[in-house]
Amino acid sequence: MMKMRIGIILLITVVMLGCGQQEETSEPPNILWITSEDNSPYLGAYGDTLADTPNLDRLAEQGTVYENAFATTPVCAPSRFTLITGLYANVMGTENMRSTFPIPEQIQFFPKYLREVGYHTTNNVKKDYNTVDQPEAWVESSDSATYKTRDPGQPFFHVRNFTTTHESRLHDPIDTLIHDPDQMPIPPYHPDTEAIKTDWAHYYDQITKMDAQVGEVLDELEASGEAENTIVFYYSDHGGVLPRSKRFMFESGLRVPLIVYFPPKYQHLAPDQDRTDRLVSFVDFPKTVLSLAGIEPPEYMHGQAFLGEYEDEPREYVQTYRGRMDERFDLVRAIRDKEFLYVRNFMPHRIYGQHLAYLWRAPSMQSWHEQYLQGNLNETQRRFFDTKPAEELYNVDSDPHSVNNLAGDPEYQEILERMRKATSDWMHQSTDLGFIPEETIDSLRGDQPLYNVVREQSLPIGEIIETAQLATRNASANLDTLAGRLDHEDGAVRFWAATGFSVADEKPAEMGEKLLNYTDDSSPAVRIAVAEALYRYGNESEALQILEQSLDLEHPFAKLRSLNTIKALDIDNLPTHISEKIKTMQETHDDQWGTDYYIRRAATSIVGE
């Protein structure tokens, strides 16, 4: 039935266009978001010959395929913050995974603006917005929410979210496989093991199942009589989901499928092409929906509408970011134009593949790690378990898997410098709050949003970002400057200054002596950063004493940072009294979602089950 209905709709569309019978309407359109989770564009519509996605492929035949659509971050909750607000999470202080920090009162979840002009707004069902909820944005948000409960003639905005392709599906037992593991296109960074091939096949199976669910939603829309009145978006909440995709700042984690279908009566709002290479970011989605509904988007939104009455000029770059992912701290910024991906790592002394308990539940991740421990990987495959360069540059056409870093190639220096400057300008101009250590945010903000406090108290965000830049690229050449900033009045500046001593390849003895003057800094984040630097300078006893004391701190993110540091130092013979303390932390923190869970998992990675 689905194939017949889609074919009929397509035929009617072609006939109407050919006969000049298409009529524009002033009626506001219904808008349907169909969202899947954790999948890159593994669809036939994107040229994937192994994909079995007939429903999405037919939707693409009728609509517009966006070749360059991107999540703002390669994980769900901070991405969903942007999708519901139209704001960059790193600018609002909400980029770290599963944060609950508030945002300014004037910022509304965008469906509220639709409700105010008469739209029926429903969400089925996932929220996970990474901030304090605004339930009034929806008429209903539940696993039974539907547009069918609206008043006659009332336009609707409805979100239908499917978890079928979520990472957790790789954890499920496999009964049978539709796709053949031996036919899977294994990327060059993965070893060709049975577990990895099977997980790839398993994941393609899940995408096929998700496609069938999309078909059911489209069938339901047709049966309701609203297909001719509804603009349909399909997209994924970020890329994924095999190891080195979700959570990671490569094409595999950031690029998403996006298909937008316009029924004949709303063709005047549609792009004039079936496929477009226009750069589109999640931060653009809320403004675009409001624009399609004829609502002028609020000025505070960061995005650029790519459709509708208030369409903006196409963007030159997509800006993306990564903060803490579950129990592991990291900080990355990246920008993408139509040809290149530039990645700036602000914790280059941390390996890409920091052990993350949820990721390691996948058989493919376990297999990859086992191959690494056994010494069976080539250089490309082994790189995931190495520390990171400060900068990465990839040609996305010739290197879609992001394995050939061009940052050190003289031929690409002009491009590197251009994109480096664009990234720096964006961080400074947007007042990027992600450089403030997470364990210090509560004491800074009190009961206010961090966004407000930073502006009211004129915190030196520019100097914080600049110090992070000095500390994490060519750090050895900047040690004198960083040493001077250890006395700065702002704790975040001191944190990044201290971090630079761990990042720097050179370890001058006089700097090791100087670091001893800062072991009692008032900021726990600074003390932990100083401890790591001292350990790397050879003063292990002093470093371990600070790290042990930090495990007793009240703030959970200070404890978590100390655990992260102990894990990263890869200490062969951790003193028994520290191991016992970590074991106690493991036993006394809940095995539930939230910070307690992260502490438990970080502790387990050090002392074992």
Residues serving a catalytic function are 76
Of 227, 192, 282, 298, the residue nearest 63 (C-alpha): 227
N residues, the chain? 609
Task: Tell me the HSE value of 479 on the side-chain side, using a 13 A CA sphere.
Answer: 17
Q: What's the token pair of residue 448?
A: 């206010």
Residue matched to tokens 């800074």: 444
- The rounded distance, in Å, linking the Cα atoms of 520 and 526 is 9
> Where does residue 404 fall: left (phi above 0), alpha (psi -120 to 50 degrees), or beta otherwise?
beta
Sign of CA dihedral 521, 524, 525, 528: positive
Q: Which residue has the tokens 């199942």?
A: 209
Residue type, 214: V
Omega of the bond leading into 75 within 30 degrees of 0 (cis): no
Residue pair 114/293 in contact (Cβ under 8 Å)? The answer is: yes
Residue 120 in 3-state DSSP? strand
Residue at token pair 């569309």: 13
Residue 497 sits at the vertex; the CA angle it makes with 494 and 500, to the nearest 5 degrees, is 150
Q: For the chain, how big is the Rg over CA atoms in Å? A: 25
Is residue 524 packed enough to be buried (19+ CB in 10 Å), middle (13-18) or exposed (0-12)? buried
**DSSP state letters, 55-77:** HHHHHHHHSEEEEEEE-SSSSHH
Question: Which tokens hold the place of 452?
Answer: 């407000």
What is d(CA 333, CA 321) in angstroms, rounded to the nearest whole number?
4
What is the C-alpha separation between 395 and 340, in angstroms, rounded? 5
CA 190 to mean position of chain CA atoms: 21
Query: Per the structure block, which two tokens stand in for 530?
Result: 């100083």
- Give the H or E element holding residue 419: helix 413-429
- CA neighbours within 13 Å on the CB side: how many for 542? 20
Angle between helical axes of 491-503 and 461-472 (0-180°, round to 10): 10
- Record the tokens describing residue 468, joined without a space: 């992070």
| Token pair belonging to 100 | 């609950």
Amino acid at 372: Y
How many C-beta neighbours within 10 Å does residue 486 have? 21
